[in-house]
Amino acid sequence: MPTNCENHDCGVEQLRTTQRVSSALLPALYAASPPHRVNNSGDISWHKDRVFISEVFRFEDLVFELVAEDFYKVFFRDLEIGEFDVEALRFRPVQVLR
C-alpha cells in the first residue's frame, strides 16, 4: 500500500529501537534548543526551508540536540527519533536493528 513516506525512510517500525533520554535531562534539552513544531504535512521549517520529518508527528514539538557542527539528534519527548543533517537538509529516522 503506498504511503506519503514512499520516498522517505519513515514508519512506525523504525521507532522500535530508539534511545530514551533520562527524565532528569529533559528540561536541559528543551532549554538548550527551542522546540520545532511539525506542520500538518509532516514538515518543519529550518531557516526558511522545509524539511520532511513524518506525518506521524503532525502538530507535535520536536527538539534538536546539537551533536556536531550542522548535525543534530532529533527527539520527540524523551525518545530519539532520528538525526538531522543541516548541510543536506535531510532527516534520517532511527534504524531498526534486525
pLDDT band at residue 26 under the 50/70/90 scheme: low
Instruction: Work out the number of other CB atoms within 10 angstroms of the CB of residue 33.
Output: 14
Task: Look at residue 93 in the predicted model and tell me its pLDDT.
Answer: 93
Per domain, the residue ranges of the chain are 12-93
CB of 56 closer than 8 Å to CB of 12: yes
User: DSSP class of residue 77?
Assistant: T
Minimum mean pLDDT range among 5-9, 44-48, 54-58: 5-9
